[in-house]
Structure 1
């Protein structure tokens, strides 16, 4: 008799860090009892799907913990958080006008949460897919743009000027890595199944780290910026020690961001799933 196999639908972004983490799974290099069916969406689409509970495993922003904490847990592996990784605010020209029109990469993103917390002036918000923000700035359709993903690495090449580094402001206040997004798993899945999901993602990440040349074409297939150096810089920035395991500092950072959303400590007691950090 063959080993029983379970099918699992997973939703992630096409950004290099997510694709890198899941590349071992996508390239079928991971031994697992799970058949992964991976879907790709923009981060704001992912957040909306997560709020609806559409996928058993999904990448989502840590800015929507209020909506997700009752039905999902954060997997110990796969998160994007760190130092020097935060959203940045840029302009085509300075000074920018009073009450600027600001392009934001989605209502439910960590970028939007931080911008609201740290931007001191009145502004008009325009929600856009993240990859449209630089073009809209260059066209003069918006005055300021909040950049995430590859945008923080390429904005200078478009002649754009840095106004604020929201991640640096967070780090100055909290002395913690900035939590951007993580891989969420439905709480009601069996414990053994959740552990197999986690083990598979860990193995996938391990494969990616050991096989850059094999993984690169897959990253290029999905990336918005195709330049290899930009893709490599993106992966090196957003895939780090916290991606492998949140550790106590990563857990504390996520709990700190949860406070910005009005969540209390007792509402977060079973938020994490993994083998460390006091997780199940």
Structure 2
């Protein structure tokens, strides 16, 4: 079975046991490590590697529901774990009107949240959205190449090293505005597969990781892109939580709320809500 997920610590932690034959009665998994913007593109435009299971952004979900099923576990939702909008100097949202903002993808939950926040907080349009690899964004803000940068993942823990300032935590804004957790990454599987079986394997993999955290440590750090062990552990603690085991009613409600708001703004197509439920 072919599976694609990011090299980020939360994904390698969650899928370590499953892809290393530590869960009984599972097939062999052929793993592709790819940034979520890549897997979004594969899912939306056609997967050249024909993966059975993929990690994508919830922002990409409305585009892929004809071919893929949202799984109820393995993804990333939570509280206090949203993207950050960073600037070189302390400033206010209004100063971003007619400015340049760097984003890691224009098909990501982070970008979706940024657009929804900007519509609410900024009277004028953003002059230009610049898509660049997420590891280039903080240096670009620091150098003044862009006026602000939208960052994700471990940048939450390292942006102070660049002398940057947090303009807004979009997760906090979302939670205050909706009371819901923030939906970030989804696990999808091709339609026609045994989704309940795959979900069972993923839950067992999460349980194994939580019971034997040292087991996945070398694997996590091998793919952690020069991240320190402390930052990797903080990353896992932030993104692996009760929603990883099961989206639950609150998780599904949050996903529907996010995608319907985005659809109302014309950011994504309106999804079939029957596909985003148990």
TM-score (norm 2): 0.88
Structure 2 residue aligned with 1:242: 243
1:269 to 268, 271, 274: 274
- Give the Cα–Cα distance (whole angstroms) in 1 for the partners of residues 256 and 97 of structure 2: 35
Instruction: State whether residues 69 and 268 of structure 1, in contact with CA within 8 Å, keep that contact through their aligned partners in structure 2.
Output: no
- Give the Cα–Cα distance (whole angstroms) in 2 for the partners of residues 15 and 270 of structure 1: 27
Structure 2 residue aligned with 1:160: 164
Change (3 A) 1:264 1:107: closer
Structure 2 residue aligned with 1:115: 114
- Give the Cα–Cα distance (whole angstroms) in 1 for the partners of residues 105 and 204 of structure 2: 31
Change (3 A) 1:225 1:179: farther
Aligned CA RMSD, in angstroms, stands at: 1.8
C-alpha displacement of 1:250: 0.5
- Give the Cα–Cα distance (whole angstroms) in 2 for the partners of residues 56 and 270 of structure 1: 18
Q: Does 1:12 align with 2:11?
A: no
Instruction: State whether residues 32 and 196 of structure 1, in contact with CA within 8 Å, keep that contact through their aligned partners in structure 2.
Output: no
TM-score (norm 1): 0.88
Structure 2 residue aligned with 1:31: 24
- Larger mean Cα displacement after TM superposition, 79-88 or 52-61: 52-61
1:181 to 185, 195, 199: 185
Change (3 A) 1:127 1:35: same
C-alpha displacement of 1:134: 1.5
Give deviations 1:1-37, integer Å, cap 9, x for gaps: xxxxxxx111101111111110112332122332111
Give deviations 1:156-181, integer Å, cap 9, x for gaps: 12211000111111111110001011
Structure 1 residue aligned with 2:130: 126
C-alpha displacement of 1:97: 6.6
Q: Give the aligned length.
A: 262
1:41 to 30, 34, 45: 34
Structure 2 residue aligned with 1:68: 64
Instruction: State whether residues 139 and 162 of structure 2, in contact with CA within 8 Å, keep that contact through their aligned partners in structure 1.
Output: no
Structure 2 residue aligned with 1:59: 55
